[in-house]
């Protein structure tokens, strides 16, 4: 009987010898060359070829060769079991089948290798991202309006449409509007001319999209850098008070609110 070490899982998948990344890669190569499926019978047929490859390998460290020798022992056990008569069912020992375990590991290795080749091909073509597919649009529902008067329909339409007037229709992909730092600088200076001072949160109330928030913050930093405005934040993550700097009048007039 084989020792318990023969039944242990194969862990050295990364060993590269004679162009093969470990014993499973060598087995898979031999099976594909003979156009055989991964079964116990097929593995028994290629046992001699596998042993010939192992004998032809140059001297390696014991850690590298141990993985190949473990598989060789499994193959020899499988081949001997196929040639020798089986014992009666009552006398058969209830032990794990190393051949079936090897078949399972080899099939799993083939799956991972195929996925790796597919990813490598995408990487070679420059396909480094995977776009999120657009979901199916929600089907339209026909509503029965029997008995509804004009006032009821008008009130229902206002409740449904007005809060969502700025949202895009379902199933339609729209590009966000292009907002520049120059536009936000002009808008902030206009508010300061009208009110004398403002806060950053109040300035963001005019934003219609999330993309405008970082642009507005960059516009504020640009005005602070130019010494056009003074910004003060009393606490961490709190609102930012914004007021014009008196000595910045000349700079604001020279730039005209532009970059």
Instruction: Write down the pLDDT at residue 6.
Output: 35
Domain assignment present for residue 172? The answer is: no
From 26, 66, 65, select the one nearest 49 (Cα to Cα).
26
Checking if the pLDDT of 253 tops 60, the result is: no
Checking if the pLDDT of 7 tops 70, the result is: no
Instruction: Write down the pLDDT at residue 190.
Output: 92
From 198, 208, 210, 188, select the one nearest 258 (Cα to Cα).
188
Of 156 and 6, the one with more pLDDT: 156
Q: pLDDT tens-digit profile of 107-146?
A: 887 888 888 888 888 777 766 666 666 666 767 767 777 7
Widest pairwise Cα distance in the chain: 104
Residue 13 shares a structural domain with residue 99: yes
Q: Going by DSSP bridges, is the β-strand pair 198-199/20-21 parallel, antiparallel, or unpaired? A: unpaired
Percentage, residues of the chain above pLDDT 90? 12
**201-217 mean pLDDT:** 85
Three-class SS of residue 129?
A: coil
Q: Which of 53-67, 112-126, 136-150, 241-255 has maximum average pLDDT?
A: 112-126
Quote the CA–CA distance of 249 and 210 in Å, as a whole number.
Answer: 31
Q: Which of 13-17, 62-66, 144-148, 183-187 has maximum average pLDDT?
A: 183-187
Between 23-33 and 98-124, two packed helices, what is the crossing angle to 10 degrees?
A: 90
From 189, 31, 181, select the one nearest 102 (Cα to Cα).
31
Domain assignment present for residue 226? The answer is: yes
Which CATH number covers residue 243?
A: 1.10.10.580
Structural domain span for residue 70: 4-84+95-124
Instruction: Write down the pLDDT at residue 244.
Output: 92
- Provide Rg for the chain, Cα atoms: 37
Instruction: Write down the pLDDT at residue 61.
Output: 66
DSSP code per residue over 37-77: -SSHHHHHHTHHHHHHHHHHSPP--HHHHHHHHHHHHHHHH
CB atoms within 10 A of CB 131: 5
Instruction: Write down the pLDDT at residue 86.
Output: 62
Domain assignment present for residue 136? The answer is: no
Q: pLDDT tens-digit profile of 94-109?
A: 555 556 767 777 788 7
Q: Which of 19-23, 56-60, 239-243 has maximum average pLDDT?
A: 239-243
Domain assignment present for residue 246? The answer is: yes
**Which position has the token pair 């190393």?**
98
Length of the chain: 259
Kindly give, in sequence order, each residue whose CB lies less than 8 Å from that of residue 33, ignoring residues fewer than 6 positions away.
none
Residue 102 shares a structural domain with residue 200: no
The overall average pLDDT reported for the chain is 71
Of 156 and 249, the one with more pLDDT: 156
| Number of domains observed in the structure of the chain | 2
Residue 75 shares a structural domain with residue 187: no
Q: How confident is the model at residue 187 (pLDDT cuts 50, 70, 90)?
A: very high
Checking if the pLDDT of 193 tops 50, the result is: yes
């Amino acid at each position: 009987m084989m020792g318990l070490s023969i039944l242990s899982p194969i862990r050295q998948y990364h060993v590269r010898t004679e162009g093969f990344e470990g014993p499973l890669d060598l087995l898979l190569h031999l099976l594909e060359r003979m156009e055989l499926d991964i079964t116990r019978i097929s593995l028994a047929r290629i046992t001699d070829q596998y042993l010939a490859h192992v004998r032809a390998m140059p001297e390696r460290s014991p850690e590298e060769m141990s993985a190949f020798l473990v598989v060789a022992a499994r193959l020899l056990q499988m081949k001997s079991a196929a040639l020798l008569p089986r014992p009666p069912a009552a006398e058969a020992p209830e032990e794990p089948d190393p051949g079936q375990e090897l078949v399972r590991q080899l099939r799993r290795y083939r799956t991972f290798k195929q996925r790796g080749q597919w990813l490598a091909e995408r990487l070679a073509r420059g396909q480094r991202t995977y776009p999120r597919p657009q979901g199916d649009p929600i089907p339209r529902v026909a509503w029965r309006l029997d008995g509804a008067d004009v006032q009821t329909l008008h009130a229902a339409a206002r409740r449904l449409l007005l809060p969502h007037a700025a949202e895009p229709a379902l199933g339609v992909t729209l590009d966000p509007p292009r907002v520049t730092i120059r536009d936000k600088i002009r808008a902030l200076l206009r508010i300061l001319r009208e009110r004398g001072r403002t806060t950053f949160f109040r300035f963001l109330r005019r934003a219609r999209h999330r993309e405008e928030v970082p642009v507005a913050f960059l516009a504020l930093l640009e005005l602070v850098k130019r010494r056009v405005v003074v910004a003060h934040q009393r606490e961490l993550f709190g609102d930012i008070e914004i007021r014009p700097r008196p000595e910045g009048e000349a700079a604001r007039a020279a730039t005209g609110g532009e970059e």
